[in-house]
Copies of this chain bind each other. A is one copy, B any other.
Amino acid sequence: MKFVVVAGSTATARIEGISAAGADSAVMAHTPSADCEIVAYGQPVCSPVVPVSPSGCPTPAVVTRAVRELARFETVVVDAGLAEPTAAPTVTVGEESGRDVRTARAVPEAREIFTAAEEYGRALPDDELVIGETIPGGTTTARCVLAALGERRATSSSLPENPIALKQQVVGEALDTAGIAAGGAAGTPIAAVRAVGDPVLAAVAGLVTGTTAGGTEVTLAGGTQLCAAAALARHAGVDAPLSLATTSFLAADDTADVEGLASDLDLDLTITDPGFDRESHPALDAYVAGEAKEGVGMGGALALAERAGIPMTDIRDRVVTIHDRLLATEPRVEP
Contact = CB atoms under 8 A, between A and B. Distances in A.
Nearest to A89: B89
Interface in A84-109: 87-91
Contacts of A72: 72
Interface string A21-44: 000000000000000000001110
B87 A123 contact: yes
B91 A124 contact: no
A25 to B, nearest CB: 25
A43 B332 contact: no
Contacts of A43: 125
Given A41-B124, A123-B332, A77 B89 contact: yes
Contacts of A42: 125
A89 to B, nearest CB: 4
Nearest to A41: B125
B87 A90 contact: no
Task: Tell me if A's interface is mostly helix, strand, loop or mixed.
Answer: loop
A132 to B, nearest CB: 15
Interface string A286-311: 00000000000000000000000000
A46 B119 contact: yes
A42 B46 CA distance: 29
A236 interface: no
A45 interface: yes
Given A41-B125, A72-B72, A125-B41, A46 B120 contact: yes
A213 interface: no
A214 B115 CA distance: 41
A76 interface: yes
A75 to B, nearest CB: 9
A8 B41 CA distance: 23
> Could you say which of A88, A90, A119, A125 has the most chain B C-beta atoms within 10 Å of its C-beta?
A125
A87 to B, nearest CB: 6
Interface string A117-141: 0011001110000000000000000
A120 B89 contact: no
A276 to B, nearest CB: 25
Nearest to A46: B123
A6 to B, nearest CB: 12
Quick one: which of A43, A45, A89, A91 has the most chain B CB within 10 A? A89
Contacts of A87: 91, 120, 123
A123 to B, nearest CB: 4
Contacts of A125: 41-43, 45
A76 B91 contact: no
Interface in A292-335: 332
Nearest to A72: B72
A123 B45 CA distance: 5
Nearest to A75: B89
A88 B88 CA distance: 12
A76 B91 CA distance: 12
A90 B43 CA distance: 18
6 contacts: A41-B125, A45-B123, A87-B91, A88-B89, A89-B90, A90-B90
